[in-house]
Structure 1
């Protein structure tokens, strides 16, 4: 539980207004290559490469060395190809055989370098992804932010996609961008230097000038592919979410016979995605025409001009005198120079058209960096929620914060009960629950019951007042639909403990089996491997069995307080009586949120909310007659 000092500092941070510059930067369109993109990319880069001593830097060094080696091998290969052609034209069989054998031997280091390039590039992608995933997970799984990002803040609709697929695409894009920029730049420098020695500086200068002018032209006609990529990822997440909803709520949908409605929703969502992808493909189609005309066929015309310089240029007489008008030597030099020129043209072309790759990176960067911003805001207690629809209820200032204190019991002092949209449900509620005061909470839907028990569990922000509550270990929460992770039967009972923590608690498998017998699930003890049986228990067990497992989990942890949210709605009255009676026998103080009057007799106090902003807190003197007869 955070201290009062820590809470005040968090509150002050949340009250600070963002600067106009920051607001303007956040409101910029997604996927634009501008100073905002470079600022965001630099911050993310510092996350994935934390220091010059990191393993990522070592991988970058290996990749850079391999890129240099590949460029030198390309230059040398052009020379070998020229010698082979000369041997063919001059009909020198011995030289031809030697050249072919040498070319075969040359393939060994060349193939090794090519494979190393692929390895270093993919390994760099994995390193970037791991570093960024660990960074986000450390924030996402801290301070219950994983709960807040979906329930309190709705800026990110599909955090699962952002934290998995989008991170992977960003890491791949960044890693490829390094190779696609560094190698062409290196090729340009080394190949230009070598070509200048062979054909004069006019040759590489003409080629570079052509691509420079082409690059300026392409810059103005290129669509904003970064925006298109960012929107496509959002639509992919929306489409994936439709299928997730169908799987998560398959039973309800089947009961309502809602397959036709769901099919229409999924098809409409996919149609929207399909139309956007078609639009992007059309933009890439027209862009590809210009790219090919400028960087391919235009470069061929310039290339032939450069290759003709030794024979037709200002130094042609000097060159022809050195080769003695020997066609085989001229052909050798042509093949050698053309190989280098093609490599130079490809290198410059990759630099020119790589602006699209930068735009793709800009699109992924905007998606990933938005996660970073939201996680930082939630870490400071700042929530933003787009409210749908209106309400006549009074709104609260959601920048205000109350204070949590640690204590032996649960005490609310002038605490406002607020809905997720900021509607004030109860202006100030006051009550106290100490050990042994079993509390029953009831009221109509929308009255604030859910907000109340979330505040008790410190899941919900406190918008005023004071709350005294014990440590997290002393409060346990059982929902109506309990969470059963895939694992062993033992894992279901001791969750979130592991076997080591179980032993420290001096709990044995024998005692766990006794807990299963109490909730009448002993049939699973002798099935398969017993407690070691591994399964997807959420699919194996029925609704009532899941609720009984959750109560066995409560008996195992044996906290001081238990918040029970309609946790016996799917079990019989006999099982309900056993579970509540055993909980009280263990000394657990029960706080039940329910509409079932059969539960009154297990409680001592009643907190009733009327849904109109009022509440009553009173001792239960006598249960209703309908309850007494059960």
Structure 2
């Protein structure tokens, strides 16, 4: 019972935000045209209409139950006039109403599902990418594997399954109440077969006991499916991600001759996927053997229960068929859990994946809130760092900065051994590193830009890759081409509208020059380069640094690098040196800069 409450609470937490959102939207309503209203009222109105139609369809089925009784009585009495009258004036009319309502309900359900999925997708994408949660989630070690699948697949399946299960459950409840009344009234005078023992509502109690027994047995057989389905989704996503990652790093794998290792890794992942799938097949086989047998028995059980009363002449044929139909309806609604057991097992896995995704984002947000590392605009033009302590995710302190000021216009080079915290310091300056404490005051009103060693190139055209992350379209073709030519990529200037997997098409050196072109277009006040030219040869690197000084004379450059040749392009050098406790601190190293003209 506790697990059921927990599962229902999880579903409620995932569902509730959409139906109470106050976001405004536009919806076209005939014949009133476009109407602007809050999304929650659109959702609630559609949901109410879908549920109302479902209840109306139950009422139609109740009416057709009485039609079925009267029709078979007419057949038994050879009453042709009643037979044809019931067929045309009762059955045809209500059947037509039922078909029309089913079409309207389907359309409303589809629109509701699309709007719900669109809202949840926007909500999750905004939260995942907002406040750099996607980055911090990778630092927490939380169970949030394959966020792409959770957003693209799990949300779609969750909205669809929640909607269908809710409608099915409400239909089952209304059917249970309606047809239980019919069944209770029919069996009011029945006795237990072979005895004079009178049991009010004998058939209702029989259906209840029968359904409870098979529901319990179904749960015992199918319970492992919940865990197996969750594991299957995770392994499917891992295998798909491995293939995508292999495509992205195809050149590196080929150069290292890693085809054999990758084949072995893919075989292992796919083998684990298949092994789990076989476990699902074995469990579903056992469940299907039971449920199919149960469904076949359902066809004859109600007739067996009422046959003695029919043969004794206590009920006519129409009442017998109505009783069998009502019993089948009551029993099937009581067996809701059995009918949807496999669906419920899949659904529980979807809910768990979205819940753990939410929890991972909660932890990422809490990590930011709990961080004692403050990054905020300060007074003046300098960038100031005070009492800064930087740690790794495991808590080990890696770098410390007691008091450091970077002056505008003064180019600075940060050097030091690998693992000394140089890139971590840059991440702290960018405001994305949560582990540590201290204060970073950025220049008031200044625009900062950081270029990492491996640039990110989005899917799309070369124009989008070059202007990323600026999607405003404010850069004209001439400016973009000029930036590419200045970054020593003139052969790409004519391919702005070409779509290609640029992250795989271009070498790392070319990708780094794309990032340099972005900086030329963005014209930041401060430009941080984290080994952003490490893949280039020294003459090209030198040419690009000279070009940056010419094209961005008002931009302050701060670089991380290992090459001694970079000193010529910087006026100040900071070297990360280890203290006695192993913590690295930046120390000024005097040198005579060479004019970078």
TM-score tier by shorter-chain length is 0.7 to 0.9
Could you tell me which of 590, 593, 615 is aligned with 2:560?
Answer: 593
Superposed CA deviations along residues 425-467 of structure 1, whole A, max 9, x for unmatched, are 2344542211122111222222212211111211112512222
Cα distance, 1:430–1:254 mapped onto 2, change above 3 Å: farther
Query: SS of 2:20's equivalent?
Result: coil
Cα distance, 1:293–1:536 mapped onto 2, change above 3 Å: closer
| Structure 2: distance between partners of 1:422 and 1:472 | 33
Specify the alignment match of 2:291 in structure 1. 291
Superposed CA deviations along residues 528-571 of structure 1, whole A, max 9, x for unmatched, are xxx44555443444433322221111011111211112222333
| Structure 2: distance between partners of 1:400 and 1:125 | 39
Cα distance, 1:289–1:493 mapped onto 2, change above 3 Å: closer
Specify the alignment match of 1:18 in structure 2. none
Specify the alignment match of 1:464 in structure 2. 437
> Please, what is the CA RMSD of the aligned residues?
3.3
With a CA cutoff of 8 Å and minimum separation of 6, indicate the structure with the bigger relative contact order.
Answer: 1
Alignment of structure 1 residues 545-564 onto 2, 5 Å: 545-564=510-529
C-alpha contact 2:133 2:364 (8 A) present in aligned 1: yes
Cα distance, 1:352–1:532 mapped onto 2, change above 3 Å: closer
C-alpha contact 2:573 2:588 (8 A) present in aligned 1: yes
Count of matched residue positions in the alignment of Structure 1 and Structure 2: 560
Cα distance, 1:307–1:81 mapped onto 2, change above 3 Å: same
C-alpha contact 2:140 2:364 (8 A) present in aligned 1: no
Specify the alignment match of 1:424 in structure 2. 397
C-alpha contact 1:121 1:179 (8 A) present in aligned 2: no
| Structure 1: distance between partners of 2:544 and 2:560 | 15
Cα distance, 1:573–1:196 mapped onto 2, change above 3 Å: same
C-alpha contact 2:310 2:317 (8 A) present in aligned 1: no
| Structure 1: distance between partners of 2:208 and 2:311 | 21
| Structure 2: distance between partners of 1:121 and 1:593 | 56
| Structure 1: distance between partners of 2:433 and 2:319 | 76
Query: SS of 1:435's equivalent?
Result: coil
Alignment of structure 1 residues 261-300 onto 2, 5 Å: 261-294=261-294, 296-297=296-297, 300=300
Superposed CA deviations along residues 480-518 of structure 1, whole A, max 9, x for unmatched, are 222222334433333222345x2xxxx544333332332
Whether 2:548 is the aligned partner of 1:579: answer no
Query: SS of 2:534's equivalent?
Result: coil
TM-score by length of 1: 0.79
Alignment of structure 1 residues 119-268 onto 2, 5 Å: 119-200=107-188, 201-220=201-220, 222-268=222-268
* Gap regions ≥5 residues in structure 1: 1-30, 320-329, 384-398
Specify the alignment match of 2:531 in structure 1. 566
Cα distance, 1:549–1:443 mapped onto 2, change above 3 Å: same
| Structure 2: distance between partners of 1:497 and 1:295 | 60
> CA shift at 1:347, angstroms?
2.2
Cα distance, 1:151–1:78 mapped onto 2, change above 3 Å: same
Specify the alignment match of 1:340 in structure 2. 326
Whether 2:343 is the aligned partner of 1:409: answer no
Could you tell me which of 37, 57, 68 is aligned with 2:44?
Answer: 57
Specify the alignment match of 2:583 in structure 1. 613
Query: SS of 1:459's equivalent?
Result: coil
Alignment of structure 1 residues 62-77 onto 2, 5 Å: 62-77=49-64
Could you tell me which of 356, 365, 374 is aligned with 2:360?
Answer: 374
Could you tell me which of 96, 113, 116 is aligned with 1:108?
Answer: 96
| Structure 2: distance between partners of 1:212 and 1:508 | 70
After TM superposition, the structure 1 stretch with the greater mean CA deviation from structure 2, 228-237 or 180-189, is 228-237
Query: SS of 1:143's equivalent?
Result: helix
Cα distance, 1:419–1:196 mapped onto 2, change above 3 Å: closer
Query: SS of 1:484's equivalent?
Result: coil
Query: SS of 1:591's equivalent?
Result: strand
| Structure 2: distance between partners of 1:382 and 1:295 | 54
Cα distance, 1:191–1:308 mapped onto 2, change above 3 Å: farther
Specify the alignment match of 2:14 in structure 1. 44
Query: SS of 2:528's equivalent?
Result: strand
| Structure 1: distance between partners of 2:255 and 2:296 | 60
Superposed CA deviations along residues 225-255 of structure 1, whole A, max 9, x for unmatched, are 3323222222222222222321222111111
Cα distance, 1:154–1:218 mapped onto 2, change above 3 Å: closer
